Amino acid sequence: MAYKLLAVVLLLASRFAMAALPEPMDPRDFSKLSIEQRMEQGRQLREELKKATPEERKKFREKMHEKMQSLTPAEREQMHEKMRAEWNKLTPEQKEKMRAERKAMINSLTPEERQQMREERRKTFEKMSPEEKKKWREEMHQSHHLEQEKPAN
């Protein structure tokens, strides 16, 4: 009887250990990776996030947000500019693949998680300076405009 209980406990412990998400990478280290490495990291992370529980995903997002907030505004701006420049160098096919992967990940979340993420973005937006808000809106408008101009397949 004790062996069966021990086996069940070990089985459950290994199941939870496998489901645990990795710690979010330090944004400084992540930004030093090549675009291909970041794409692969993102792909692997999305696979792990699919397996995680909603609560685990929320904790992961909170930790990731904390790490981003630990950066100075200048560091965040520098990383944003680097990522934007690299994004602009991607082929339309690479961009579309990344968008599709992200959309699939978002669609795999529960409606409650999607609402939570919208709320997190709204709070982040509220904390932005007027200049940051203006820049963000311009970038989103430009990105949305480019999406509208894409030829239909």
pLDDT tens digits for 43-91?
A: 898 889 888 999 999 999 999 989 988 999 899 889 889 988 988 898 9
| pLDDT of amino acid 144 | 58
Angle among Cα 40, 45, 48 to the nearest 5 degrees reads: 135
Q: Any idea which residue has 């630990």 for tokens?
A: 70
Write down the pTM of the prediction. Answer: 0.67
Angle among Cα 97, 25, 100 to the nearest 5 degrees reads: 15
Extents of the domains making up the chain? 24-110
The length of the chain is 153
